C-alpha cells in the first residue's frame, strides 16, 4: 500500500525515477541467489555485452556498479585522473553544478565554464581554451549531455570536433544519466572516453545501478591515475572479468534480472525507435507549453531536450505550488524547479517506459493545475496541440502490425 494512498495509478512525470514496465517488475520479484553460482556470472556476461549497445560502442568496457549516478560520476573521475589535474567543466544547471562540486572536492583543478541557466555549454569558450592549451595541461573535458534541471541538451559531436580540430588529447567524460537510451548517443562515433548513466532513468529500472562505459583510452589512463579509489576501482572489476566471475562484491540479484528484462524490452522496440518516440514526446510537450502561452526555460531550439521540459511560469505564480497541487489533488508527480530556477519553473519528465496517451493525461492534469493556481489557461488547448501533432506522427506498433 502507498504511504499516502490515492486511487488509481500515480502519474509519474518527473525526469527520473521513471515508470517501471510490468515485465521488469515481475522479473525482479524473485528470491536472492548465490552470486557465485554459475547462473549469475552467465547472465552478467550477456548483460555486459548488451549494455554496450545502448552506448553504441563496440570498443568500450562497461562496469555495472551498485550505485547511483553520483557514484558513477566519481568512478569516471577517480579512475582516469589524478588530484591537481586540470578539468574543463561546464556549469549550465543543478546537475552540472553538483558534478563540478564533486570534482572540486576530489581535488581536481576545475576550470569552470558557466552559462546562464537555460543555455547550453559555451563551446566557443572551449575552443578558445583548447587553442591556447599548447602544452596540453587540460586532462579532461567534463560535460552533462542532458541537464535535467533546465531541459538543455548539449551537442557532443561538436565537442569531439573541437578536440580533433585542435589535436587535443584530453579525455571526454560525459554524464548521460538522462540521455542514454532515450536521446541519440554515439560513444564510439563521438569519441567519448567515459560515458555513464543510471538505472532509474531511460532504462526504466529502480535506482541502484550506475553503468559506466570506458574507452580503451580511458582504461589506459587508469594506469597513471593517482586518485584514491576503492569501491569504484575499475581494476577490481577487470580482475574478476578475467576470472569469469565478474563481481568484486555482492551485486543486487533482483536488479540484474530487472536489467535483463529491461534490455530485452529495449531491443524488442529497437533503440532507434525509442529515440524517435522520445522525440515525439518532447515535441508534443513543447507544443502544449506554447499553446498554454508559457515559455520553455531552454532558450534555443538547438538545446531542446526530448526527455524533460522545464516550463517557466509568470512571476505571480510559485512553480512549487503547481507541483504540490499536482500531487495532492490529481495524483500527478511533476519535477520541481531547482536552485536558481526554484519557484520559477516546473518540469515535465517524458522519458523511459512512457507512451503518447500517458503524456496526454499528464498534459490534461497540468492544464487543470494551471487553472487552479490562477493562470488563465484555456482547458484543452495544450492537449489539443499535442494531440494534433501526435495523431499525425505516431507510427503503428511494430509488434502489432
Q: Which residues are annotated as a binding site for substrate?
A: 347
Grid cell locating 148: 535535467
What is the distance between the alpha carbons of residues 258 and 124, in angstroms, rounded to a whole number?
42
Q: What is the rounded distance in angstroms from the CA atom of residue 162 to the CA atom of residue 166? A: 6
Helix axes 319-330, 356-372, angle to 10 degrees: 110
Q: What is the dihedral of CA 142, 186, 192, 229, to 10 degrees?
A: 80
Binding site residues, as ranges?
A: 347
Residues 6+ apart with CB under 8 A from 272: none
| Contact assessment for residue 181 and residue 271, using Cβ atoms and an 8 Å cutoff | yes
Q: Which has the closest alpha carbon to 99: 247, 198, 180, 12?
A: 198
Amino acid at each position: 500500500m502507498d504511504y499516502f494512498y490515492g486511487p488509481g495509478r500515480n502519474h509519474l512525470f518527473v525526469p527520473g525515477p521513471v515508470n517501471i514496465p510490468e515485465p521488469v517488475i515481475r522479473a525482479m520479484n524473485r528470491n536472492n541467489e548465490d552470486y557465485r553460482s554459475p547462473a549469475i556470472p552467465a547472465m552478467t556476461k550477456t548483460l555486459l555485452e548488451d549494455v554496450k549497445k545502448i552506448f553504441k560502442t563496440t570498443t568500450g568496457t562497461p562496469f555495472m556498479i551498485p550505485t547511483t549516478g553520483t557514484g558513477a560520476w566519481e568512478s569516471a573521475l577517480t579512475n582516469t585522473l589524478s588530484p591537481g589535474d586540470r578539468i574543463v567543466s561546464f556549469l549550465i544547471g543543478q546537475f552540472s553544478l553538483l558534478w563540478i562540486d564533486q570534482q572540486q572536492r576530489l581535488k581536481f583543478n576545475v576550470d569552470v565554464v558557466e552559462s546562464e541557466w537555460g543555455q547550453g555549454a559555451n563551446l566557443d569558450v572551449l575552443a578558445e581554451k583548447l587553442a591556447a592549451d599548447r602544452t596540453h595541461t587540460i586532462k579532461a573535458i567534463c560535460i552533462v549531455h542532458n541537464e535535467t534541471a533546465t531541459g538543455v541538451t548539449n551537442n557532443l559531436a561538436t565537442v569531439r570536433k573541437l578536440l580533433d580540430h585542435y589535436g587535443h588529447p584530453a579525455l571526454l567524460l560525459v554524464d548521460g544519466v538522462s540521455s542514454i537510451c532515450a536521446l541519440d548517443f554515439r560513444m564510439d562515433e563521438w569519441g567519448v572516453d567515459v560515458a555513464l548513466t543510471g538505472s532509474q532513468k531511460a532504462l526504466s529500472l529502480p535506482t541502484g545501478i550506475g553503468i559506466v562505459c570506458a574507452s580503451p583510452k580511458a582504461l589506459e589512463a587508469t594506469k597513471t591515475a593517482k586518485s584514491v579509489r576503492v569501491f569504484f576501482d575499475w581494476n577490481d572489476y577487470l580482475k574478476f572479468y578475467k576470472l569469469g566471475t565478474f563481481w568484486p562484491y555482492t551485486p543486487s540479484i533482483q536488479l540484474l534480472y530487472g536489467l535483463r528484462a529491461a534490455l530485452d524490452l529495449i531491443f524488442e522496440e529497437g533503440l532507434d525507435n525509442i529515440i524517435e518516440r522520445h522525440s515525439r514526446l518532447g515535441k508534443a510537450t513543447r507544443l502544449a507549453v506554447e499553446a498554454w502561452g508559457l515559455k520553455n526555460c531552454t532558450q534555443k531550439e538547438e538545446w531542446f531536450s526530448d526527455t524533460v521540459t522545464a516550463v517557466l511560469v509568470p512571476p505571480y505564480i510559485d512553480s512549487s505550488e503547481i507541483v504540490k497541487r499536482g500531487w495532492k489533488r490529481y495524483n500527478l508527480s511533476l519535477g520541481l524547479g531547482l536552485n536558481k530556477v526554484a519557484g520559477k519553473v516546473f518540469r515535465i519528465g517524458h522519458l523511459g517506459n512512457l507512451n503518447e496517451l500517458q503524456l496526454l493525461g499528464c498534459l490534461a492534469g497540468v492544464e487543470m493545475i494551471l487553472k487552479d493556481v490562477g493562470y488563465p489557461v484555456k482547458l484543452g488547448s495544450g492537449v489539443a496541440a499535442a494531440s494534433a501533432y501526435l495523431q499525425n506522427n505516431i507510427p503503428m506498433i511494430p509488434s502489432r502490425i
